[in-house]
Amino acid sequence: MFFGIEWDTSSQWAFAVSIFPILLHGLVVTLQATVVGFFIALILGLVLAALKSAPTRFIRWPAKLVTEFIRDTPLLIQLFFLFYVLPEFGLTLPAFLTGALALGVQYSAYTSEVYRAGLEAVAKGQREAARALNLASARTFTHIILPQAIPRIIPALGNYLVSIMKDVPVLSVVTVLEMLGVAKIIGDRTGGYLIPLSMVGGLYLVMTIIASFGVRYLDTHLPKRGLSLK
């Protein structure tokens, strides 16, 4: 029994059917971790991207260093740091939040590069026109550069959303009961791993396909308002 749901080991089919709702509990957690992690990656990545294109190198270089550090160290190490080391300094976060934060921090390094590339793709003349019109640099960024960069950025970000979803199982090592963790516990308790793990794989396949379609839909239907992206 798990999440108050009994499994039925009378046949393999019955077993699969009976654990399906249990796995769905895990799936919800997986999706939650994906969304929260992605959201953190979006915001933090934007901050990093802005810092990396700051006018002074005293801001640029540390930001680049942080990005490089995050990107070149395994997600698992960052996760362990947040989960085991931070409490030593008196900061204890719930496992779920720790996991989502680790994902978000890890992927902010990637999203910041996506932002940067998207921002640099906006023609130099746009900045010059904004400067000639005396628009403040913050306004130029939020209302001239960003709206033109976003349609280029969205598809690449979507791909990272799928990647984050596929990295969520790592959180099971810090006791987050996402789908894989749930499947493993079912296996531990029943001795049958094949069916729960296969079902997790299958569910992942379905989710990634749906997400990929979503990204493609967004890409083609995004309002580009006067932008031609070539």
Partner 1 sequence: MNDATDNRDPIIRFDKVVKRFGDHVVLDELDFEVQRGEKVTIIGPSGSGKSTVLRILMTLEEINGGVVYVGGEPLWHQRKGESLEPAGEQHLRQMRSHLGMVFQQFNLFPHMTVLRNLTEAPVQVLGVSKAEAKQRGMELLEMVGLTDQASKYPHQLSGGQQQRVGIARALAMRPKIMLFDEPTSALDPELVGEVLNVIRTLADEHDLTMLLVTHEMHFARQVSDRICFFDKGRIKEQGKPEEIFTAPKEERTKAFLKAVLDPDD
CA distance 69 to 199: 36
Alpha carbon separation from 202 to 13, 164, 197 (Å, rounded): 15, 17, 9
- Residues near 57 by beta carbon (within 8 Å), at least 6 away in sequence: none
Query: For partner 1, which stretch binds (CB under 8 A), given 34-42, 137-145, 171-179, 191-199?
Result: 137-145
Given 74, 94, 139, 201, the residue binding partner 1 (CB under 8 A): 139
Using the rule CB under 8 A, which residue among 144, 154, 156, 197 binds partner 1?
144
* 146-151 long-range Cβ contacts below 8 angstroms, 24+ apart: 146/119, 147/225, 148/122, 148/227, 149/115, 149/118, 149/119, 149/121, 149/122, 150/118, 151/222, 151/224, 151/227, 151/229
Stretch that binds partner 1, among 60-68, 132-140, 175-183, 205-213 (CB under 8 A): 132-140
Contact between 90 and partner 1 per CB under 8 A: no
Q: Which residue has the tokens 């006791």?
A: 175
**Of 23-31, 86-94, 188-196, 220-228, which segment contacts partner 1 by CB under 8 A?**
220-228
Q: How far is the CB of 144 from partner 1 (least distance, A)?
A: 6
Of residues 125 and 191, the one with the C-beta less far from partner 1: 125
Does 136 contact partner 1 by CB under 8 A? Answer: yes
Binding segment for partner 1 among 8-16, 105-113, 140-148, 183-191 (CB under 8 A)? 140-148
The strand pairing partners of 2, in sequence order, are 5
Stretch that binds partner 1, among 62-70, 144-152, 202-210, 213-221 (CB under 8 A): 144-152
Contact call for residue 56 and partner 1 (CB under 8 A): no
DSSP H helices in 81-176: 95-120, 124-132, 137-139, 146-167
Q: Using the rule CB under 8 A, which residue among 143, 193, 213, 217 binds partner 1?
A: 143
Distance CA 75, CA 73 (A): 7
Is 228 a residue that touches partner 1 (CB under 8 A)?
A: yes
**132 lies in the site for partner 1, by CB under 8 A:** yes
Does 121 participate in binding partner 1 (rule CB under 8 A)? no
**Identity at 92, one-letter amino acid code:** T
Q: What are the C-alpha distances in Å from 131 to residues 15, 52, 126? A: 66, 20, 9
Contact 106, 70 (CB under 8 A): yes
- The footprint of partner 1 (CB under 8 A) covers 123, 125-126, 128-129, 131-136, 139, 143-144, 147-148, 225-228
